Amino acid sequence: MAVLSGKLTKKLVENLGPGRHGDGSGLYLVVDPSGARRWIVRVTVKGQRNSKGGPLRTDFGLGGADVVTLNQARERALEYRRMAKQGLSPRYNVQREIPTFEEIAQQVHIERMPTWKNTKHGQQWINTLRDYAFPKIGRMPVDSIDQPEILMCLSPIWTEKHETARRLSQRLKVVLDVAKSKGFRSGENPVTAIKDAGVLPKVVKKPKHHQAMRWGDVPSFFADLKERKATAAKALMFTCLSGSRTGEVLGMRWAELDFDNRLWTCPSERMKTGETHRVPLTEEMIEILEPLKKLRSDYVFEGQKRHKPLSNMAMLMLLRRMGEERVTVHGFRSTFRDWASETANAPREVAEMSLAHKIGSDVERAYARSDLLEKRRDLMAQWSQFVASERNKRD
């Protein structure tokens, strides 16, 4: 098969920066600012004229450079030019190999690996498509997928598993958008069309409430908790005092703790917000931590397996054994927030930052350089003293 020769090389294709880079004979590599790379060919179809009566030059997409190699792009460009010389428009006459939906989805997953918050999130992204889309449309050419095929994926789980269906629809849209950007599709994204048309029934999202203990009951509960020797009890005490999330506490390592400055720094990769969070350590928190040092574990709250954290169900099961059937571990964050507002009269931004909540707009946060550590230190000290007040009476 004849192959066009040109200026580009495989290395250049992989490394050239944003712009349109010519290979010769009308073939170009287009590199977007995002780094996405695609091929186009510019041809003049014999007999077609522009508005001024001159030859009409038209660009045609040949596919993404991650899917179509340099030699394949040259072969396709040659095919397009031959057709154009015969007066045939490539738009209507060329036969292209269209990848399947699954092939594009897998490629998108690989391309976006560096952007995932962590490996788990990246795996969840592709798993949703694997479970609910691939069995139905995975082997279909990506240009043949329209609204009926999208509905075939979404309808069975739209009401029963609405949150999963919502995430699935987002991922279907991304894959089809990428396919279009690579030249394998045209027209409106069917996911968008379905959403705009209101084809699927509206699902009223039920608010999710984490049952919280009344703040007035916390001191007595904490005193009872103090009588228990299990690691889960120590972890629950620390969670209650710090106002932190379950995963943040259970994943805590000794290297994150600075006892000299009385500070726990939870790294960004373990924070829901994706930002590093500093937690001031109070006397009561340190009292819990100090005896655990002798265990010499990687994790502060070690589980049954050596150098592995406590199970994320351990604290909840402890609550159930203590007869707290309706209270959740996460609910202690709400308990602290109610106390901070009703009793401590804490400024909103101090209380919210103590819970590692984002405050204000993106612009406001850009100018808010301080995390109000010292003000939060005072508030957490008051909270710890209140929580431990009943226990101190018993001692």
Domain extent listing, the chain: 10-93, 101-197, 215-394
Instruction: Check if the beta carbon of residue 48 is closer than 8 Å to that of residue 32.
Output: no
Which CATH number fits the domain 10-93, given the four candidates 3.30.160.390, 3.90.1330.10, 2.40.10.500, 2.30.42.10? 3.30.160.390
pLDDT in the model for residue 50: 64
Q: How far apart are CA 326 and CA 10, in angstroms?
A: 62
**Predicted TM-score (pTM) of this structure:** 0.51
Show the tokens assigned to 104: 């594009």
Q: How far apart are CA 296 and CA 304, in angstroms?
A: 14
Show the tokens assigned to 210: 């984490």
pLDDT in the model for residue 367: 45
pLDDT in the model for residue 118: 72
- Name the nearest CA neighbour of 18 among 30, 2, 26: 30
What long-range pairs does 344-350 form, CB within 8 A, spacing at least 24?
344/379, 344/382, 344/383, 346/379, 347/375, 350/375, 350/376, 350/379
Q: pLDDT averaged over consecutive 10-residue blocks of the chain (395 residues)?
A: 66 90 90 84 75 70 81 85 74 64 89 78 88 91 90 92 92 94 87 90 68 92 93 96 95 95 94 92 96 90 89 92 90 93 89 86 55 93 93 61
User: What is 129-178 written as a DSSP string?
Assistant: HHHHTHHHHTTSBGGG--HHHHHHHHGGGTTTTHHHHHHHHHHHHHHHHH
Q: Determine which helix (DSSP H) or strand (DSSP E) holds 319, and give its type and residue range.
A: helix 314-321
Q: How far apart are CA 59 and CA 47, in angstroms?
A: 16
Which CATH number fits the domain 101-197, given the four candidates 3.30.200.20, 3.20.20.70, 3.30.360.10, 1.10.150.130? 1.10.150.130
- Name the nearest CA neighbour of 289 among 339, 249, 321: 249
Region at 26 (left for phi over 0; alpha for psi -120 to 50; beta for the rest) = left
Residue 245: alpha-carbon gap to chain centroid? 18
Specify the 3-state DSSP secondary structure of 215: helix
Specify the 3-state DSSP secondary structure of 58: strand
Terminal Cα distance for the chain, rounded:
90
CA distances from 208 to 253, 330, 376 (A): 30, 12, 27
Place of tokens 């006459």: 93
Query: What is the homologous superfamily of the domain 215-394 according to CATH?
Result: Intergrase catalytic core (1.10.443.10)
Region at 35 (left for phi over 0; alpha for psi -120 to 50; beta for the rest) = left
